[in-house]
Amino acid sequence: MLHENRMYFLANQNPRQMMSFIIETADGKIIVVDGGYADDAQHLLDTLKNITGSEKPHVDAWLLTHAHSDHICALLKLVENGFDRLTIGALYYNFPSVQWLRSREPRDEGEVAGFLAARKYLLPISEIVTRGDSYRIGEAQIDVLFTYDPALTRFGINESSTVFRLTLGGQTVLFLGDLGIEAGEKLLSLYGVELKSDFVQMAHHGQNGVDKSVYQAVAPKGCLWCAPLWLWENDAGKGYDTHTFQTVIVRGWMSELRVKRHFVNKDGDHVIPLPFDFD
């Protein structure tokens, strides 16, 4: 029996950006956040098998931030034939309607169609979350800080990200998904300095996400960057900071905020104990 809480921050299995976390509580509960692309599904499953010691692992709670392929398609891949590879206690999310998703980004029909195909398996375990909800998963507490607002239109499906906060081992981890500036402003107006958290998952893979003022309120000690090397270095193939992404600018903000530790999934899988000793 494990007597330590751990957060596994998984590396991308192809060159693209993705987001995948597993949280293991000291009392034996398993929580997954997003999961990555379909290409990331096997690595996620293998890691769950290693953690649980089971060939058919059980996930107590699976949280989804939003309906983009780099966040939901690993789950859709794993349940394409139902629960023959793993079982899930409950799936927590709040997606806009299918019509809303299709109207915003018709080119992203693939993941919407995949979600609809898996719906017969997923609906019985779905928990549609609302801002203010709070769930207890063993020793972990999951608070829902933000769900999509149809009035926010600037950043497409990214802006529909649900914001979850994990409290475990006396520390907090804020998952911002791919939230953009507009929703970030609303989040800040709702919570202000109550956003303060020990860790933050950097919005939208660490660039073109929420504005600096949100991170100032969060005042993180640790940053979780779902970014491959090219994105971390804003490299267009011509060297450091030659692309159009804002990652280097956001890294500068975090230096100003005196963040103590950065975890970047370009470096491989990270296993982070909670509480984490930042000193």
Is the Cβ of residue 24 or residue 70 nearer to Fe ion in the bound state?
Answer: 70
Interface with Fe ion: number of residues (CB under 5 A): 2
Is the Cβ of residue 77 or residue 221 nearer to Fe ion in the bound state?
Answer: 77
CB of 73 to Fe ion, least distance (A): 11
Q: What are phi and psi of 123, to 5 degrees?
A: -55, -40
CB of 69 to Fe ion, least distance (A): 8
Tokens coding 45: 């499953």
Q: Of 24, 40, 60, 70, which one interacts with Fe ion (CB under 5 A)?
A: 70
Among the candidate windows 31-39, 70-78, 97-105, 250-258, which touches Fe ion by CB under 5 A? 70-78
Whole-number Å distance between alpha carbons of 19 and 182: 21
Is the Cβ of residue 204 or residue 221 nearer to Fe ion in the bound state?
Answer: 204
Contact 62, 31 (CB under 8 A): yes
Among left, alpha and beta (phi > 0; psi -120 to 50; other), residue 53 is left
Task: Looking at the chain, list the stretches that DSSP marks H as alpha helix, in order from N- to C-terminal side.
Answer: 41-52, 69-78, 98-104, 109-122, 181-191, 212-218, 229-232, 247-256
Residue 40 touching Fe ion (CB under 5 A): no
Among the candidate windows 37-45, 63-71, 128-136, 240-248, which touches Fe ion by CB under 5 A? 63-71
Q: Give ∠ CA 11-43-81 in degrees, rounded to 5.
A: 135
Among the candidate windows 66-74, 99-107, 112-120, 234-242, which touches Fe ion by CB under 5 A? 66-74
Q: According to CB under 5 A, which residues from 217 to 276 bind Fe ion? A: none
Is the Cβ of residue 70 or residue 111 nearer to Fe ion in the bound state?
Answer: 70
Q: According to CB under 5 A, which residues from 151 to 190 bind Fe ion? A: 178
Is the Cβ of residue 139 or residue 211 nearer to Fe ion in the bound state?
Answer: 211
Contact 219, 191 (CB under 8 A): no
Is the Cβ of residue 137 or residue 176 nearer to Fe ion in the bound state?
Answer: 176
Where does residue 238 rank: exposed (0-12), middle (13-18), buried (19+ CB within 10 A)? exposed
What does the binding site for Fe ion look like in residue numbers (CB under 5 A)?
70, 178
